[in-house]
Amino acid sequence: MSSEISPKAKPVKTTGLHVGDPVPGVKKVDPILVADGVKRTFGGLTAVDVEHVEIPRNAITALIGPNGAGKTTFFNLLTGFDKPDTGTWSFDGKPLAHVPAYRVARMGLIRTFQLTKSLALLSVMDNMKLGAKGQSGENLFRGLIPAIWRKQDTEIEAKALDLLGRFKLDAKKDDYAASLSGGQRKLLEMARALMSDPQLVMLDEPMAGVNPALTQSLLDHILNLKEEGMTVLFVEHDMHMVRHIADWVIVMAEGRVVAEGDPHSVMQDPAVIDAYLGAHHDADLGATDTEHVEAMKELIDDEQ
Amino acid sequence: MDWGAIFGNAVVELISPTTAAYALAALGLAIHFGYTGLLNFGQAGFMLLGAYGYAIPALKLGWPVWACVLTSIVASVIFALILGIPTLRLRADYLAIVTIAAAEVLRLVFTTNTFQDVTGSANGLSEYQAGLLQFNPFPPGRYGFGPWIFDNRVWFFLVIAWIVVALAAVFTWLIMRSPWGRVVKGIREDEDAVRALGKNVYSYKMQSLILGGLFGTFAGILFVLPRAVVPSYFQPSLTFFVYAILLLGGAATILGPIVGSIVFWVLLSFFSGFVARAVEAGWLPFMTQVQAGQLRFILVGIAIMLIVVFMPQGILGNKKELAFVK
C-alpha cells in the first residue's frame, strides 16, 4: 500500500475477460459475481429483468445506461437492500439470494450509495472505525469492558489513519462528517468501505456531484483498488470516466442488459446508441434528451 | 407569602426519589432517542410494567425482592420484543405510533375491573414494600438536615434510587464509548449506511430498545416504592414529561437526563408552590386554587416549546452538533 497516488496518464486495462463473443450475458473467464434471472417489478413496472450476467474478477466493470434503466435497483438487489421477485445470484460461488444486506457486506461485498451516506454527527474517524469488520467491542456485553476491545480498536484506528491519509482526509479526522464538503463525503464513504477489506466494491455514481479537481484523485483511488486485487463495479453517467478506467462495460436499458464489451467497442454497439437515444433517434421528433445526445456525439467523435 | 416554604419544598425535589426515578426513565429514553434514534413514546408502559411487575408478586405471592425485580425485568423484555419485532424493520415513526398505543393498552388493562383481584383496578396496590424494608439500615424516625427532613423509609428509597441512577449512568457511559455505542450512534444517523457496513441493524435496535426499556422499568419500581401504585400515574403525559426532561438536559448525553430531572422537578415544585400561594394572597384574582394546580402543567408545556425552539441541544448538549442539524 503506497500512500502516494501518482496520476496515471493511461491506466492499464485488463483484457481477455470474456469467453466467446461479447454479447449480453457473455461468460467470463473468472467471474466473481453471477446473476441469473433476477427480476424485480414495482406494480406494473419491470425495473430489473436480467437474464444472466457475470462480473469479472479483479477488473473494473462499469454499469451504464440511461436514467430509469434499473442500475441502482439492480445494485440494491445484488447487495440485499431490496428483494427480487425471482432470481438467483452468487458471489464468489456462494449463493446470495435472500441473504440480508449486512451478511452480504460481511462476505466482502461492500457498496456505497448514490446519495452519499456519511454519518453526519459522528466524527470522520468514527465513521471509518465503523467500517471495520469483526469488532469484539460491538457486542453489548464485551463492549462494557474496554480491556477486551482496546487493542483491536487501536489497530483499527491505525488502519483508518492510513486510509484517511491516502484520501487526504487525515486533517479532518476529528471533525463531524457533517462538516465535510460533498466531494469529501464521497471520499469518506469510499474510504469507509475499504476499512473492511472487501473483495468487491460496488460504487453507485461515485462521481456525481464531485468537482473536477477531485475527479482525478477519485479515479486514481478506483484504479488503485484494482491494483490491490479488488474488483470494482460502478454505476456512472460520465462517459469519459467510464472510457478512461473501465475494463468492461455492461449496458442496461429498461431493466435488461442490452450490451456488454470493452468500453471502446461497446459504445459503437447499435443497441447502446438505441438505448441512449431511442430506437428511432434518426427520426426527427423535435425535442430530444440533449444531454445524452451531446455525450454520445462526443464519444463517437473521440473514437474516430 | 411564605417564601421559605416555597423554596424549601422546591429544594426537597433536588434529591427526592421521584426525581431519581424520572432521571432514570429519561436516561432510558436517551439510549432510545438520543443515541439510537428510536422514537419510543411508550416509556410510561415500561415504567408501568416495572411498577406492577414488582408490586403484584410482592403483594399477592409474597415473593422476595429479587424475584419481584426479576419479574419486572422479564415483563419489560417481553414488552420490548413485542413492540420491536414488528416495528423495528419499519421507519422510526411507526415505532412511535405503536409504543404510544401499546403503553395506553397496558394502562387500560391494569385499570379495568376484570382483573381487580390482581391489579387492584383503578385503586391500584399498596403496602408491597415490606420485603424491601426489612433491609432498611436507617433507624426509625424522621431526621435530616436543612429542608431535607424525611423518615427512615424515604431515606432508604432515596439512597437506593440514586445508587441505581448512578450505576445506570456509569453503565450508559461505558457502553456509549465502546464500539457498540459507535454502531448505535451510526444507526441514529443513517441505518442503511450502517447496514451496508455489515452490522445487523435490527439486532442493535432491538438491544437498544430492551436496554432503554429496562431503565424505564427500574425507574417504574423506584417511582412507586415511596407510594402506592395506581394505573393513572402511567398516562401518556408521563412519557412526555420524561421527554421534556431529556430534551431539557440534552438528548445524547449521560448527565443530561439527571440534570434535566433535577431542574424539572425543582422548577415544577417552585411554580406550583408559588402560583398556589399567589392565588391565596389574591395576586391572581382571575384564578381559583383548582386552576392554579393545573397552571404548572401549562408552564411545563411552554417550557418544552421554548427549549426545542431556542435550546434544542439542552443544558448539557454539544453546541457543535447544532450547527449541522437541519
Handedness of CA B59, B64, B67, B69 (dihedral sign): positive
Question: Which tens digit of pLDDT belongs to each residue from A66-118?
Answer: 888 889 999 999 999 999 999 999 998 899 888 999 999 999 999 999 888 88
Give the closest residue to B245 by CA, choosing from B226, B211, B268, B223: B268
Neighbours of B319 (CB within 10 A): 8
Decide: A163 and A150 in contact? Cβ < 8 Å: no
Residue A297 has pLDDT above 90, yes or no: no
pLDDT number for residue A115: 85
Q: Are the beta carbons of B217 and B53 closer than 8 angstroms? A: yes
Other beta carbons within 10 angstroms of residue A178's beta carbon come to 18
Domain B3-322 sits in CATH at 1.10.3470
For A179, the closest chain B residue by CA position comes to B324
pLDDT tens for A118-159 read 898 999 999 999 999 989 999 999 999 999 999 999 999 999
Which percentage of chain A shows pLDDT scores above 90?
46
pLDDT at res. A1: 42
Q: Provide CB contacts within 8 A for A247, sequence distance 6+.
A: A13, A14, A15, A17, A56, A59, A60, A61, A226, A262, A263
- Per-residue confidence (pLDDT) for residue B313, from 0 to 100: 85
Task: Output the pLDDT for position A2.
Answer: 43
Whether residues A102 and B199 touch (CB distance < 8 A) is answered with: yes
Check B196 against A133: CB less than 8 A apart: no
Per-residue pLDDT, B310 = 85
**Interchain CB contact of B324 with A (< 8 Å):** yes
B contact test, residue of A75, A118, A121, A127 with most B CBs within 10 A: A121
Any A CB within 8 A of B116 CB: no
| Residues 4-23, chain A, touching B (beta carbon < 8 A) | none
Give the Å distances, CA to CA, from B326 to A180, A220, B180, B253, B322.
15, 33, 26, 20, 9
Decide which of A220 and B168 is more confident: B168
**A113 interaction partners in chain B (CB closer than 8 Å):** 192-193, 196
Q: Assess B185–A contact: CB distance below 8 Å, yes or no.
A: yes
Given an 8 Å threshold on Cβ–Cβ distance, is B180 in contact with A122? no
Q: Say how many C-beta atoms besides its own lie within 10 A of residue A21's C-beta.
A: 8
**pLDDT over threshold 80, residue B1:** no
**For the segment B4-59, what is each residue's pLDDT rounded down to a tens digit?**
888 988 899 999 999 999 999 999 999 999 999 999 999 999 999 999 999 999 99
What is residue A98's DSSP assignment?
T
> Which domains are delineated in chain A?
18-117+197-303 (3.40.50.300), 119-179 (no CATH)
Percent of chain B's residues with pLDDT above 70 = 98
Residue-averaged pLDDT of chain B: 91
Q: Considering only CB atoms, which chain B residues are within 8 Å of A79? A: 196
- B270 min Cα distance to partner chain A (Å): 37
Q: Are B35 and B205 in contact (CB under 8 A)?
A: no
The whole-number average pLDDT for the span B183-204 is 94
Interval B229-253 mean pLDDT: 93
Are A102 and B178 a contacting pair at CB < 8 A?
A: no
Helix, strand, coil % (nearest 5) of chain A?
Answer: 40, 20, 40
Cβ separation B324–A101 shorter than 8 A: no
**Residue of A234 and B301 predicted with greater confidence:** A234
Contact of A138 with chain B, judged by CB distance below 8 Å, is answered with yes
Of B324, A70, A198, A91, nearest to A190 (Cα)?
A: A198
> pLDDT band for position A9 (50/70/90)?
low
Which pLDDT belongs to residue A298? 74
pLDDT at A287 over 70: no
Is B319 part of the contact surface with chain A (CB cutoff 8 Å)? no
pLDDT at B59: 93
